[in-house]
Homo-oligomer: A and B are copies of this chain.
Amino acid sequence: MTHCTTHDHQTHPDLDHDETACVSLVPIFNHLECDQMEEIMRVTHPVTFSKGQTIYQAGDRSDSLYIVSEGKIRITRMSESGKEQLLRLLLPGHFAGELSLFSESIHEDYAIAMEQTSVCTIHRTEFQDILLKYPSIAMKVLAEFSKRLEQSERQAARVATESVETRLAHYLVEVLGTAHTSLVIELPMTKKDLASYLATTPETLSRRLSDLEAQGFIRLISNRKIKILDPDGLMQL
């Protein structure tokens, strides 16, 4: 879907490969008509950030959607009491900044590039134009929002009611995924970040991992690698 059969790819001489890749990566832009795809690519602007650079931060006025085409982005939030929590990691194909596009236009979170990262941006007004023009895209965005909302509510409920051990256990199974190709998983972030994501401290995380190993559920291979010995056991914690 990165090329159209009715148009030669050369008809967009002003668009470099990055933009095409970026747009085609995003789930909500899949299965689009040629003309829609062209129009979207016309309004995207590629930007790159180097490691540690801030893409936006709390208090910033929000006016763009950011679509990750390469690299990794940390989305964090500062609680009222000043503690930082990692909300999610953005990988290629994910997007950020969508929240404030519609209601409040002030960011409440922080987006920081964890490595050399390139994103495609779409300005809020242009994005809204597209949504108004192509309701089917709006529907896909709605579906995406709805999924995010569900995840967020589930996450809130988990933190509220489950112990760190349980949260951790469920997280490990999630990373393992349904594709049980291998029982060895690789953590996608440092344990420090994982602790923040699970709303706990590095110390507690370390202890709970040891506990799970002592109980025979997992086997700690190396810093980032963990062998899941008993997925079902972990799930029903």
What is the interface of chain A, defined by CB distance below 8 A to chain B? Answer: 77, 79-81, 83, 85, 87, 98-104, 108-109, 128, 131-133, 135-136, 138-139, 141-150, 152-162, 166, 170, 199
Contact = CB atoms under 8 A, between A and B. Distances in A.
A196 B158 CA distance: 13
B158 A99 contact: no
Given A141-B142, A149-B152, 9 more contacts: A80-B170, A99-B153, A102-B143, A103-B147, A109-B153, A132-B139, A142-B145, A145-B145, A152-B152
Nearest to A170: B80
Copies of this chain held together in the complex: 2
A102 B142 contact: yes
A159 B156 contact: yes
B154 A108 contact: yes
A60 B95 CA distance: 31
Given A158-B79, A161-B81, A142 B146 contact: no
- Main secondary structure on chain A at its contact with chain B? helix
Contact of A160 (B128, B133, B159): B159
Contacts of A102: 139, 142-143, 145-147
A147 B150 CA distance: 14
A158 B77 contact: no
Contacts of A141: 142
A100 B81 CA distance: 34
12 contacts: A79-B162, A85-B160, A100-B146, A102-B142, A102-B145, A103-B146, A132-B135, A132-B139, A135-B135, A142-B142, A156-B159, A159-B160
A215 to B, nearest CB: 17
